[in-house]
Amino acid sequence: MAERVSAYPFPEPESYPRPRPVDDVEPEIDFGIASVPVRLYTQLSFRAGRTFRDVKRATQTALTRVKNVTVRMVEERPIHLVVGVAIATFIAGAGLRIWRSRHE
């Protein structure tokens, strides 16, 4: 019989490259806040805030719309909702069963 081998063999520690010491290297680019002009920083923070507010408003609008559609669906067609949930559950269960049978 063949000998079992790990699917992810790790190389021996001696085969790892050893890091070379670095002496007195100064960074070429300063990424600190002090290196960014105040006007650019103000403009970027304003745009980021506006984008965040736009995303927040769009998310709230979408959630309100989904809530209204769901409430209307429950009131007008409760049987359709139950059948839809049952079909979705059946499909999810069948998919999980197929996935599980292939990964055992």
**Residue 96 reports pLDDT greater than 70:** yes
**Residue 11 reports pLDDT greater than 60:** no
pTM comes to: 0.45
In a domain? residue 83: yes
In a domain? residue 94: yes
**Residue 80 reports pLDDT greater than 60:** yes
Q: What is the pLDDT of residue 43?
A: 84
In a domain? residue 73: yes
Number of domains in the chain: 1
Domain that holds residue 48: 37-102
Instruction: Taking residues 52-64, report their average pLDDT.
Output: 94
In a domain? residue 1: no
In a domain? residue 17: no
Q: By three-state DSSP, how is residue 12 classified?
A: coil
In a domain? residue 6: no
